[in-house]
Amino acid sequence: MKFTCSKNDLNEALRIVSKAIATKPQTPILSCIFIQTQGDKLELQATNYELSFICHIPATIEESGAIALTGRYVLEVVTKMPGDTITFSMMNDDKTIHIQSGQSKFTLLSMNAAEFPQIEHLAGNVQFTLKDNVLRELIRKTIFACATDEGRPVFTGCSLTIEGNKVTMAATNIHRLAVISKVFDQEIGSIQIIIPAKILAEVLHMPGGDIPTEVTITCSYNQISFSTPSVYMASRLIEGQFPSFTNVIPRSFATNVQVDRAAFAAAIDRVALISRAGDYNVVKLQFSNGNIHLHSRNPEIGDADEDVAAEIDGPDLMIAFNANYLIDVLKSMQGDVCRIGLNKELSPAVLREPDDEDFLYVVTPVRTAH
């Protein structure tokens, strides 16, 4: 086997597939990245049975073949090699891989490539395509609301519901809820699944360009895959029933607020410097007289106050939130203005963008002593 390829292309492909290498693999072969030649391309694979990746990159193939190299070491070697191109070679009767770039040469021992459990593409119940920029928006506006506590697995992923031509993605950790929907021209199918946040985070980092790329999404009732011309990734789904969330979304509000999103986010971030050391990072918001007054206090550190101008329609209100829960959603928004719907000091608030009716965010206040 012998091939030459761009070092940057190989490094990026190794970085992607290495995400599927387990820290404590069930068998030694699962610590490997599998590399095989396919025409004028290289195919790289890695899997831990929960998560699987395949990448394709262009290469000049002199001798075809397949190898399995310990993922950790091959990634580190390729990353540190000099030069723009890199050459791999192996004699048929030798388990040693010779790697050369510029004046640098390495040899790595390989494992038996025939033992690697090659990844089969998923044949699912539902398959549809989305532009990568649309898919990233669905993920970016929900994934931050997932729980990180593995003790309740259904909340560590995003719910994906497909009904006819409507796709809805939602995430919650019980204290907040992010929901976004998209309606398409064609019928897609019907399915309701929970996708682990880990695979969605990898989808966000899939290589992309200035021109949107089609991503093919294939779903079964226990697996999901995302496929582009250069990258294929698959994951097991989270078992369980995602809670019904429509009844927790307030339908009307006593107080409606419009505020500059960037200014509001920056003010919360500054005021939260004081409260960040606390368990709940509480920031109090006073809505009155065309102004939002932000306040945080930590008896061991001090106080912080700031005012942000806003359009306020309705009764004055003082309400407290976990600052992180507000900052996360404000960062995910893209417009200049944020709309906030409020009722009572212990009632959930809803944040939206004026120009995006497909997205909403519900956040529960924090009970505080006045």
- CATH fold of 126-246 reads DNA Polymerase III; Chain A, domain 2 (3.10.150)
- Amino acid (1-letter code) at residue 353: E
At 332 the pLDDT is 94
At 299 the pLDDT is 83
The domain spans of the chain are 2-115, 126-246, 250-363
Tens digits of residue pLDDT in 256-295: 999 999 999 999 999 999 887 766 789 999 999 999 999 9
Tens digits of residue pLDDT in 281-330: 899 999 999 999 999 988 888 999 999 999 999 999 999 999 999 999 99
Spans of the chain below 50 pLDDT: none
Beta bridge partners of 317: 287
At 188 the pLDDT is 81
At 111 the pLDDT is 92
SS3 164: strand
At 278 the pLDDT is 62
Average pLDDT, the chain: 92
SS3 165: coil
pTM: 0.89
Assess whether the region 2-115 and the region 250-363 belong to the same CATH fold: yes
- At residue 310's C-alpha, the angle toward residues 306 and 313, to 5°, is 130
- At residue 320's C-alpha, the angle toward residues 318 and 321, to 5°, is 145
List the one residue out of 228, 216, 205, 233 whose CA is nearest residue 52.
233
CATH 3.10.150.10 fits 2-115, yes or no: yes
At 344 the pLDDT is 94
Beta bridge partners of 164: 189
- Amino acid (1-letter code) at residue 185: D
Architecture of domain 250-363: Roll (3.10)
- Give dist(CA 311, CA 257) in Å, integer: 6
SS3 breakdown of the chain: % helix, strand, coil, rounded to 5?
20, 45, 30
At 26 the pLDDT is 84
At 369 the pLDDT is 67
Around Cβ 161, how many Cβ atoms within 10 Å? 15
